Amino acid sequence: MKTHWIAAALLSSTLAIACEGAGQNAANSTAASTPPESAPAPEQAPAPQTAPAPPSSTTTVARQQAAPATPAPRPRPAPAPSESARSEAAPRPAAPPKPRFREVAVPTGTQLPLELTTALSTETAQVETPVSARLRQPVVVDGLTVFPAGAVFHGNVTEVERAGRVRGRSHLAFRFTEVEMNGQRDQARTSVVSFEGEATKGEDATKVGAGAGIGAVIGGIVGGGSGAAKGAAIGGAAGAGAVLATRGRDVVLPAGHEISAALSSPFELRVELQ
C-alpha cells in the first residue's frame, strides 16, 4: 500500500513539474509573439534633391517635334568690299581666243600695179581675146595684204580697131574680171585699160613732100621750069598714093609691159591673221 502511495506521489510531482514547464513555455511563446512597444522613431531629414536624369534621345526628339520652331536671328549684312578688294577677289575671266581671220573690203578705185603675161596687138587681137597680167607689188589695206605680189588677174579684150589708111589711130582696150590667188579664182572687176596708136601725120607729110621733090627734079630735067612744076605735082600725087596704101601704126603691147588698172567695184575677202 505504501508503495502505491509513493508511486502516485512521484507521478503527481512529475505531472506538476511538466505542467509548470508547459505554462512557462506558453508564456514565453506569447511574449515572444507580442512585440514590445517601440519608441517613436525620430523625424528623418528630407532627402537631398538630385538633378533629374537627362532625357533619353527619344524624349528629346519628341520634345523637339512638339516644341514650336524658333526663327533664327537674322545675320547682320557684312560691309561692302572696296573696289580694289572686289577686283582682287573676283576671278579674272579667261581671255577670249584671238581671231584667226578678218573680213576686209578693198575699196573701189584701188590701183593695181600689173605687168602683162600675154602679148597684145591691134594687128592680131579680137574682141574677147583672153588677156592676163601679174601683180607686181602687194596691195595692202588697213595693214593687211589683200592682193599678194604675183596674184594673176584674168580678163578679155573689149575693143580693138586698126588705124585707117588715110587717117585715124589704132585702138585697143581690155579689162580684168577675175583674180587668181592661192590656186583659187574670185571675181574682181577692174576699169577698162585702153591704148591708142601713135599718130603718123608727120610721116605722111614727109612721104608726100618726098614724092613732090622727086617729081620736081625729074620734071625740071625733062621740061625746064614748067616741067619742074608738073613734076612736083606728079611727085606729090605719087607720095599721097603711098600714104593711102600704108596703114597707121598698130598698138603693140609685149609680155612684161607694165600697166596699171583700178578696181571698178569693192572687193571683199577673208584675210588670215598672222
Is the domain of 235 the same as that of 262? Answer: no
pLDDT in tens, 224-242: 555 545 544 555 444 444 4
Query: Is 222 part of a structural domain of the chain?
Result: yes
Sign of CA dihedral 123, 124, 130, 135: negative
Domain identity same for 260 and 231: no
228 and 254 assigned to the same domain: no
pLDDT at 123: 92
Q: Which amino acid appears at position 137 of this protein?
A: Q
Grid cell, residue 154, equals: 584674168
pLDDT recorded at residue 241: 46
pLDDT of residue 134: 97
Burial of 186 (0-12, 13-18, 19+ CB in 10 A): exposed
Same domain (yes/no): 235, 130: no
234 and 125 within one domain: no
Model's pTM, two decimal places? 0.50
CB 206 within 8 A of CB 212: no
Low-confidence ranges of the chain (pLDDT < 70): 1-72, 77-91, 99, 165-167, 200-247, 274
Residue 236 lies in a domain: yes
- Rounded Cα distance, 211 and 216, in Å: 9
220 within a domain of the structure (yes/no): yes
Give the DSSP letter of residue 245. T
Same domain, residue pair 135 and 222: no
**What's the pLDDT at 61?**
46
Q: Are residues 105 and 169 in the same domain?
A: yes
- Residue 71 resides in a domain: no
Please name which of 157, 116, 158 lies closest in space to residue 136, comparing C-alpha atoms. 116
Q: Which cell goes with 73?
A: 536671328
Q: Return the DSSP state at 110.
A: -
pLDDT of residue 249: 87
The values of phi and psi at residue 85, to 5°, are: -65, -40
Q: Let me know whether 242 and 107 are in one domain.
A: no
Residue 236 to residue 210: CA distance in whole angstroms: 8
* Structural domain harbouring 135: 101-199+249-272
Looking up residue 161, the CATH number of its domain turns out to be: 2.40.128.260
**Judgement on whether residues 190 and 261 belong to the same structural domain of the protein:** yes
pLDDT the model gives residue 207: 46
Residue 193 maps to a domain: yes
pLDDT attached to residue 195: 95
Q: Furthest-apart CA pair in the chain: how many Å?
A: 258
**pLDDT score of 271:** 81
Let me know whether 239 and 118 are in one domain: no
Torsion sign (Cα): 72, 73, 74, 75: negative
- Is residue 146 classed exposed, middle or buried when 0-12, 13-18 and 19+ CB atoms within 10 A define those classes? buried
Residue 65 lies in a domain: no
Whether residues 163 and 130 fall in one domain: yes
* Whole-number pLDDT of residue 214: 52
Q: Do the beta carbons of residue 240 and residue 209 sit within 8 Å?
A: no
Residue with cell 592680131: 124
* Overall domain count for the chain: 2
Grouping H, G, I as helix, E, B as strand and the rest as coil, residue 133 is strand
pLDDT of 112 reads 97
Q: Check whether residue 233 and residue 195 sit in a common domain.
A: no
| Residue owning grid cell 528629346 | 60
Between CA 140 and CA 112 the distance in angstroms is 11
> CB of 165 within 8 A of CB of 245?
yes
Sequence-distant (≥ 6) Cβ neighbours of residue 95 within 8 angstroms: none
